[in-house]
Structure 1
Amino acid sequence: MAFENKFIQQRIQKAQTLKESGYNPYSNDSKRNTTIAKYLNVNADIEHKEDKRDENRHYTVSGRIKLQRIMGKASFIKIEDESGMLQVYVARDNLPEGFYNDIFKKNIEVGDIVEVEGYPFVTGKGELSLHANDLKLLTKAIAPLPEKFHGVTDKEIRYRKRYLDLIMNAEVRKTFQIRSRVISLTRHFFEDKGFLEVETPMMHPIAGGANAKPFVTHHNALGIDRYLRIAPELYLKRLIVGGFEAVFEINRNFRNEGMDATHNPEFTSIEFYWAYKTYRDLITITKEYFEYLFEHLDLPKRLPYGDMEVDFDKFTEIPLIQSLTDIGGVPSDVVNDKEKILDYLRSKNLEADANMTLGYLQGELFDEFVEEKLINPTFITEYPVDLSPLARRNDENPDITERFELFIAGREIANAFSELNDPVDQYERFVAQGAAKEGGDDEAHEMDMDFVDALSYGMAPTAGQGIGIDRLVMLLSNEHSIRDVLLFPAMKPLSESTSIEETEED
C-alpha cells in the first residue's frame, strides 16, 4: 500500500485524531446480536404497523459503510455484512453529545466498519431501516474504497486484491458460497454412501497418478527432492490393497503446466475408489451425485452456461472412437489408421507428431473435433489403452480400457475407470511410460516399484474416479474462468515499476 497517497494520509490523520481524543478506532468489544439478513427477515412485519416502527424492539448490527449521505442534523448510511445490506438513520439528537458533529461527520466515512444499536422502522419511501440510538466505530479503514458506481471491474485487480473484489462485488461472495456448499455436499454425499474420507501425502518421492509435469521441491532433512503431488491416485489405491473398500479424498493437486481459462497450477478435486465395483457403477453414482447436488443447491435441471443451456436430465454415453465419426465428423475410414489420421489433421491445418501412437492420435482427433461439441452431460467411454496407463483393459478388446470421461458444456469434468490390478501388466505399462519419458515426454509416469509391490499383494477389483471441483463450480455458478472460482488464483508478479494503486487510478 502506498502510504504516501494523499487520501490514505487523510484517513490516517483521522484515525490519529480519534486516538488523541481518547476514542479507539480499532476497538474489539463488538456487541452485535444479529445479522442484517436476520434483522430484515424478523422485522418484515413493521410495514404493516400503523406508525411503521416499533421502538420496543432493539437490535445491534455491524457492517461496513457502503454509502453515506451526510445532512445537517441527520444522515443516512448503508452498511453491509456478509448476509446483506441495511439502511441506517443517524440523527444528532439520538447520539451522545458531540458524537454526531465531532466524530461521525468528521472522522467516519465509507469503508469504515461500524456497529449500530437501534429499532426498526420503515421510511417514507418504503424501505425497512434501522433508527440508530447508538453508533460505534469498530474499524477505521485507511484505504478508500473504489467509487461505488464503477466498483472493481478490472480483472487484474480483482484477482490480486480478492479482498477488495469481495468488498465491492456481492455476487462474487455468492460464487464462493456456492463453492463451499459444493465441497460440503460432496463430502456428505460420499459419507452417506459409506465412503471413508482419508488424507494422503502432498509430497511424493515419485510423481505419479496422472500424466502431468510436477513441481519439484527439496527436503532438507532427508537431503532428497520431493514432488508436489499431481494426483492422489496411487496412494488411495494402496489403501484399497490394505483392506479399505471405499475411500475418498478432497484436496489440492499441483501441476507445473500452463494457465488458461480451465487450468491453474494448483486445483481441487475429489478422488474416490470403490472395491468390487466397475466403471459402470461409477456412471450410476455420478448421475446420483449430480442429482444430489441439484436438489440441495436448489438449481434448475436446465442450467444456463454462457450462451449455452445444459440439460442435466439428458446424460448420454458414447465410445470415444464412435464419437469421432458421429459427433466429430471424422470419416470412418480415417479413425483407425495412423497415416490417414496424420493426413487428415494436416488437411485441417493442424500440426501432428508422426511419432505419436494410434491411440494418442485418436485422442488428438477427439480434442480437436469432438470435445467442445459435448454440451449436455456425456460419458465418453472405451479409451485407447495407451491413453490410460492405470486403467484396466477390456476383456473382449485389449486395445481399449474400461474408462470414461464426463464432459459437460464442452469441458472435461470427471475421469474414471475400472482400475488395473494386474501387477505384471502395470509393471509393463510403467516400463513403456519410462521409455516415453526418456524420449522427451516430461508428463509420462515414472516407474513406481512400491506401487507395483503393493499390487502384487492383491488389490480387489476396484473402480476409481476423479472430479474437478473447480470446473464443477464454474459450471454451477456460470463462471467462465477458473480464476473466478479460486479465491487466490496464481498470478504473474507485478513489475517493480507498476503498483496496484497506480493501476486503480488509471
Structure 2
Amino acid sequence: MNGCNNEEVQRRKKLSFIKKNGFNFPNDFKPNINSIEIKNTYKSYSNNKLKVLKLFFSVAGRILKKRVMGKSSFFILKDCEGEIQLYVSQKNIVDKFYEDMIKILDLGDIIGAEGNLFRTQTGELSINCKKLKLLTKSLKPLPDKFHGLYNKEVRYRKRYLDLISNKSLSSVFKTRSDVIINIRKFMLKHKFLEVETPMIQNVPGGATARPFVTYHNSLNLNLYLRISPELYLKRLIIGGFERIFEINKNFRNEGISTRHNPEFTMMEVYMAYSDYKDMMMLTESLLKKIVFSVLGSLRFVYGEYELDFEKSFHKLTMKQAILNFNSNIKLSDLENLKCVLEIVNSLGIQVEKNWGIGKLILEIFNKTVEKKLIQPTFITDYPIEVSPLSRRNNVCSDVADRFELFISGFELANGFSELNDSDDQKSRFLEQTSNQFSKSEDNSIFYDKDYITALEYGLPPTSGMGIGVDRLIMILTNQKSIRDVILFPILKPI
C-alpha cells in the first residue's frame, strides 16, 4: 500500500473513532468574520491595543498547515477570502482535551475556532483559540502536502483541489463575477432590459455552427442546445422591446482550443432605431467602463503587450487591414477573383468550391491579419457573403454594415445593423442551406421559417452585438487559455 492510500486509511480510522464518540459532522458553528476582514480592519493595531480591546472572533475554514510544538500548536486556516493563523495552547482549550484534538486534526480538515485576536512575537495577526471544533473530516490528503497542483489537466479535472491549492485562482473567478456584475450595471444604466431566451430550441440559428442534439421523449422530437440567442432576441425587438440584453450560455459542437470551449458565455445586446456605428460606440464605452471598474486603469498588460484602452479604438475596413499587413497585396488584387484565388493558394488555404470572393477575402484576413491586431481594433465592411444576418451597405452592396472587435489577436465582439428585409433574409437563408456540402443530420445551417414569419411583421431598424465574456475575462486576468477562466471546462473522459 502506497503512502497516500495509507494516509487515507489512517484518516478513515480517525473518523470512525470520533463517530463512535459522538461526532456527527456538526452544522451549528457560525463564523462572524473572515480573514480579510480581520487583516484589513486591524492591520494597524498593536498587540497592546488588541489586549485592551479583547476582541473575540469566530472563524471557520480548512487547515492548510499544522505545526505542533508540545503543548501548543499553530494552524493556518483558509477561508473564502484568505488565510489566518490560529494559536492553540493546551491551557486555553476549555471544552476538549488538547492532545486528543491535535491527534485528530489533519491538513484539509474543516474546523471552527473561537478566540481573542492578538499579534505573535513576529507581528502576525492571529487567533488565540479558546475553542476548536472539527466540522468536517477530510478523508483524502491535500495534493503534494499542499505545495499545489502543477499538472494542468489535473487542475481542470479536479477544480476543487485547484481552488484549495492555487492561491491566485480564486481571484480570477472573483474577477469573472466582477466583470459580469459590471456588464449588468452598464446595460441597466443605459436603459436595457435583461431577458432570457430558450437554451433548448426547435431550430438552432443565429450563427454558423454545429449544434448539440438532444431528444424530447414526450414530444418525440429532436431538439438542439442553442448556438446563439440572436433570432429569439430579435423576435423580442419585433414584439416591441427596444433595448434588451442577455448574458447566458451558448453551445457549439465543435473543436476545443485555448480560445474555444463547447459551452461558453456570451452577452448579446439589441438596440432598436440604431445602426452598427451606434453599436460600435456602445461597445467601446462598455469595455472601457468594465476595464476601469475591474482593474482601476485603462492600461494593463496581457501576455507580452500593454493594452491601451485610453485611446479611441482603431477602425479599419477589412480590405484596409489586409493591405496594411500585406505589402505585396494591392487594392485592385482584392477586387479580382483570379488574383484573390492566387493569393489564397499562395497562403496554403484550402478552398471549398462554393466559396465566393467575399469568403476568400475573409480567409486572407484570418490568415494574415487577425493575430496581428493587438490593440483594440474594429474591423468593418465584412463581405455580405459571410454576413447572412447583416444589413447590406447602402453604398456597396457586396459588404455588410458589420464590425468585429479584435484585441490581442483574437475576436472579442461581433455586431452589425440587423437585416430587417424579410425577403432578403429568406433568400440568404435558402442560399446558405443549398450551399452546404453535407446533406446529413450534421448540417450546421438551418432554415428558421418562423423567424422569417416574425420578420414579415416588421423589425424596426436595429443594431446588435455579441461579446465573448470568457475571452474578455481572459484578457482582464492575463490568462492564455479559456479553460483558466471557466470553472469546469469540457474535458475528454479518462
Residue 166 of structure 1, CA deviation? 0.5
1:451 aligns with 2:448: no
Deviations 1:439-485, CA, capped at 9 Å, x for gaps? 66966532211111111111100000000100010011101111111
Match of 2:62 in 1: 64
Gaps of 5+ in 1: 495-506
| Residue equivalent to 1:497 | none
Matching residue of 1:207: 204
Shift of 1:361: 0.6
1:492 alignment counterpart: 492
Q: Which residues of structure 2 form unaligned runs of 5+?
A: none
Match in the other structure for 1:165: 162
* 1:292-303 equivalence runs, <5 A: 292-303=289-300
The answer (yes or no) to whether the contact 2:292–2:298 under 8 Å persists in 1 is: no
Distance of 2:27 and 2:158 partners within structure 1: 25
Q: 4-13 or 358-367, which moves further after superposition?
A: 4-13
Contact 1:381-1:404 within 8 A present in 2 as well: yes
Corresponding residue for residue 500 of structure 1: none
SS of the equivalent of 1:360 reads helix
Q: State the shift of 1:335 in Å.
A: 2.1
Q: State the shift of 1:180 in Å.
A: 0.8
* Counterpart-to-counterpart distance in 2, 1:471 and 1:143: 35
CA distance, structure 2, for counterparts of residue 318 and residue 106 of structure 1: 68
Residue 102 of structure 1 deviates from its aligned partner by: 1.2
Q: 5 Å matches for 1:23-102?
A: 23-24=23-24, 26-47=25-46, 49-50=47-48, 53-54=51-52, 56-96=54-94, 99-102=97-100
Alignment of 1:463-502 (within 5 A): 463-494=463-494
2:253 is matched with which residue? 256
The alignment covers a number of residue pairs equal to 490
- The root-mean-square deviation of aligned C-alpha atoms, in Å, is 1.9
Deviation at 1:354, TM superposition (A): 4.6
The one of 120, 144, 147 aligned to 1:147? 144
Q: Does 1:408 align with 2:416?
A: no
Instruction: Tell whether the 8 Å contact from 2:214 to 2:223 is kept in structure 1 after alignment.
Output: yes
Shift of 1:437: 2.3
Partner SS for 2:117: strand
d(CA) in 1 for partners of 2:95, 2:212: 62
Match of residue 346 from structure 1: 345
The 10-residue stretch of structure 1 (49-58 or 205-214) with the greater mean CA deviation from structure 2: 49-58
Cα deviation digits, residues 231-283 of structure 1 (max 9, x gap) = 00001001111111111111111100000000011111011110000011111
Query: Structure 2 residue aligned with 1:326, among 314, 317, 324?
Result: 324
Aligned to 2:388: 389
Q: Give the structure 2 partner of residue 499 of structure 1.
A: none
Name which of 266, 291, 299 aligns with 2:288.
291
Q: By how many angstroms is 1:329 displaced?
A: 3.8
Q: What is the deviation of 1:312?
A: 1.1
Distance 1:491 1:3 in 2: 29
Displacement of 1:59 = 0.6
CA distance in 1, matches of 2:92, 2:458: 78
- Over 3 Å counting, the alpha-carbon distance change for 1:144 and 1:4 in structure 2 is closer
From 239, 243, 246, the equivalent of 1:246 is 243
Distance between the aligned counterparts of 1:222 and 1:51, measured in 2?
71
1:3 deviates by: 13
Normalization by structure 2: what TM-score?
Answer: 0.95
**CA deviation digits over 1:424-447, x for unaligned, max 9?**
100110111111125669665322
* 1:369 equivalenced with 2:368 (yes/no): yes
Aligned to 1:274: 271
Structure 2 residue identity aligned to 1:63: G
2:433 and 2:446 in contact (8 A); partners too: yes
Whichever residue aligns with residue 191 of structure 1, its letter is: L
How far off its partner does 1:149 sit? 5.9
Secondary structure of 2:341 counterpart: helix
- SS of equivalent residue, structure 1 residue 133: strand
CA distance change for structure 1 residues 206 and 327 in 2, over 3 Å: closer, same or farther? Answer: same
Residue 181 of structure 2: aligned partner:
184
Q: 1:230 to 1:51 in 2, by over 3 A?
A: closer
CA distance in 2, matches of 1:248, 1:101: 59
- d(CA) in 2 for partners of 1:443 and 1:192? 40
Tell me the amino acid that sits aligned with residue 139 of structure 1: T
Identity %: 45
- AA matched with 2:343: Y
Q: Is 1:195 the counterpart of 2:192 in the alignment? A: yes
Equivalent residues of 1:55, 1:120 under 8 A apart: no
Question: Match of 1:432?
Answer: 431
Q: Which amino acid aligns with 1:102?
A: D
Q: How far apart, CA to CA, are the structure 1 residues paired with 2:328 and 2:488?
A: 41
Question: 1:316 — aligned with what?
Answer: 314
Q: What one-letter code is carried by the residue in structure 2 that aligns with 1:224?
A: L
Is contact 2:147–2:165 with CA below 8 Å preserved after alignment?
no
Distance 1:278 1:325 in 2: 27
Deviates most, 385-394 or 14-23: 14-23
CA distance in 1, matches of 2:95, 2:133: 14
- What is the distance in 1 between the residues matched to 2:48 and 2:446? 77
Deviation at 1:340, TM superposition (A): 2.0
Contact 1:479 / 1:485 at 8 angstroms: preserved in 2? yes
Instruction: Give 1:338 deviation, angstroms.
Output: 2.6
CA distance in 1, matches of 2:109, 2:63: 6
**8 Å contact kept, 1:216–1:228:** yes
Picking from 111, 114, 117, the partner of 2:114 is 117
The residue identity in structure 2 corresponding to 1:133 is: K
Query: What is the TM-score when the length of structure 1 is the normalising length?
Result: 0.93
